[in-house]
């Protein structure tokens, strides 16, 4: 049997959506490809058609739109630092970008691809023959979770480093799909289901990520990983405080979706930390144990509040 593989390069978002509709779900959008291509090599991504968005120049712009700074979804992580408004108003975005992978990856990887990168698990991110030998799990069409024994739930970890920073700054995403264009809160695209971690229409293109201007955010970013270069997160925490005293805590790496806790400058820190711990469903499915990562949630959050409130 001949397997047909197609590679398409649309010049506009409209064209990309049309190509997607014609590919009838058997396709994958490609931005920098640093996540998609690894998943293809491991046999976890098998679409016949790749629709490469990288020729759509309109998605590489950063521009103001009313009270928002709109960052094009195809802006490379390395290039975020070249934009003065991002550096001045949202330095944590650059810090988070800098924590992703390696310098080479950051020159190719995009913001849009980062917020949509696939959830991870030590039993899933393996070669096809490894998974075949051990047994396929719920996330790759098996019938049991190898990590927990559950026949219902997958707790693959949400690992984007950019999303926690962006969500803590009240980011929204602009989405184009066959129905038109809309803007929603970034956190609303995540489901918490490790098998299908996002609820976007399959044909939807994320065109930009919007950040609210003039909020005078102060933010603290922390990332736990085995090696300071290259490794995916085992726990990312971001705590942001705006000019009105609103506090937003966002965790990555300890649940199938970003864990979010809201509060204010006057909140009891112990209560906020307890809520964050309660909402995180970390399991033993990566290099550091669940217990260690949970202990580090408290350590990172207490350090973050110390930095925000005591050191200013
Ligand atoms: C060695 C290594 C280390 C890494 N370390 C980290 C890390 O520390 N932290 C981290 O967060 N990530 C890490 N990554 C994962 C990945 O490199 C990043 O998440 C990267 O930002 C993904 O962006 P991309 O443009 O390459 O996405 P792609 O691989 O092109 O796409 C990722 C997903 O997003 C979809 N997509 C992309 N753009 C759009 C769009 N505009 N509209 C709709 N769908 C879209 C694709 O279809 C795909 O499902 C690492 C990867 C490797 C190989
Ligand atoms: S958490 Fe379980 S079902 Fe999900 S990817 Fe890991 S082993 Fe598979």
Q: Which long-range contacts (CB under 8 A, 24 or more apart) does 176-185 make?
A: 176/13, 176/14, 176/17, 176/204, 176/205, 176/207, 177/17, 177/201, 177/203, 177/204, 177/205, 178/17, 178/21, 178/203, 181/207, 183/210
CA count, 13 A, side-chain hemisphere, 102: 5
The mean of the pLDDT values for the chain is 96
Kind and range of the H or E element at 51? Answer: strand 49-52
Sheet order of strands, 172-177 included: 62-65, 68-72, 205-212, 172-177, 180-185
Which residue has the CA at smallest separation from atom 4 of ligand 2? Answer: 154
pLDDT tens sequence across 80-111: 999 999 999 999 999 999 999 999 999 999 99
Task: Enumerate domains of the chain plus CATH numbers.
Answer: 1-53 (3.30.43.10), 61-212 (3.30.465.10), 218-310 (3.30.390.50)
Structure confidence at residue 1 as a pLDDT band (50, 70, 90): very low
Residue whose CB lies within 8 A of the most ligand 2 atoms, among 43, 44, 138, for a mutation test: 138
The sign of the CA dihedral 121, 122, 125, 127 is negative
Atom of ligand 1 nearest to the CA of 252: 11
pLDDT above 90 (res 247): yes
Ligand 1 centroid distance, CA of 168 (Å)? 20
CB 151 within 8 A of CB 143: yes
* Cβ of 200 below 6 Å from ligand 1: no
Ligand 1 centroid distance, CA of 33 (Å)? 7
Burial (Cβ within 10 Å: 0-12, 13-18, ≥19) of residue 279: middle
C-alpha 157/C-alpha 85 separation (Å) is 31
More confident call, 230 vs 130: 130
Q: Are strands 49-52 and 27-30 parallel, antiparallel or unpaired?
A: parallel
Atom of ligand 2 nearest to the CA of 137: 8
pLDDT tens sequence across 186-245: 999 999 999 999 999 999 999 999 999 999 999 999 999 998 888 999 999 999 999 999
pLDDT above 80 (res 4): no
Structure tokens at 245: 């005293």
pLDDT above 90 (res 5): no
CB 256 within 8 A of CB 155: yes
């Amino acid at each position: 049997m001949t397997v047909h593989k197609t590679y398409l390069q649309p010049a506009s978002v409209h064209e990309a959506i049309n190509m997607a509709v014609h590919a009838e779900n058997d396709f994958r959008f490609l931005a920098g490809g640093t996540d998609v291509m690894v998943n293809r090599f491991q046999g976890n991504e098998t679409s016949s058609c790749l629709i490469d968005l990288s020729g759509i120049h309109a998605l590489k712009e950063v521009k103001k739109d009313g009270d928002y700074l709109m960052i094009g979804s195809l802006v490379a992580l390395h290039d975020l630092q070249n934009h003065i408004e991002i550096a001045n108003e949202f330095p944590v975005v650059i810090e988070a970008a800098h924590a992703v992978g390696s310098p080479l990856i950051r020159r190719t990887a995009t913001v849009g691809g980062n917020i949509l990168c696939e959830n991870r698990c030590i039993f899933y991110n393996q070669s096809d023959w490894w998974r075949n030998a051990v047994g396929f799990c719920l996330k790759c069409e098996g019938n049991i979770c190898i990590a927990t024994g559950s026949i219902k739930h997958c707790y693959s970890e949400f690992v984007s480093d950019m999303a926690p920073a962006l969500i803590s700054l009240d980011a929204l995403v602009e989405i184009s799909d066959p129905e038109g264009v809309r803007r929603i809160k970034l956190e609303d695209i995540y489901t918490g289901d490790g098998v299908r971690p996002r609820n976007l229409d399959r044909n939807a293109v994320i065109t930009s990520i919007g950040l609210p201007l003039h909020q005078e955010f102060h933010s603290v970013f922390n990332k736990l990983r085995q090696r300071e270069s290259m490794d995916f997160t085992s726990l990312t925490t971001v705590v942001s405080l705006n000019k009105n005293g609103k506090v937003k805590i966002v965790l990555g790496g300890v649940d199938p979706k970003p864990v979010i806790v809201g509060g204010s400058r006057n909140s009891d820190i112990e209560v906020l930390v307890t809520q964050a711990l309660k909402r995180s469903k970390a399991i033993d499915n990566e290099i550091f144990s669940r217990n260690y990562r949970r202990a580090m949630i408290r350590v990172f959050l207490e350090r973050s509040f110390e930095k925000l409130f005591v050191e200013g």
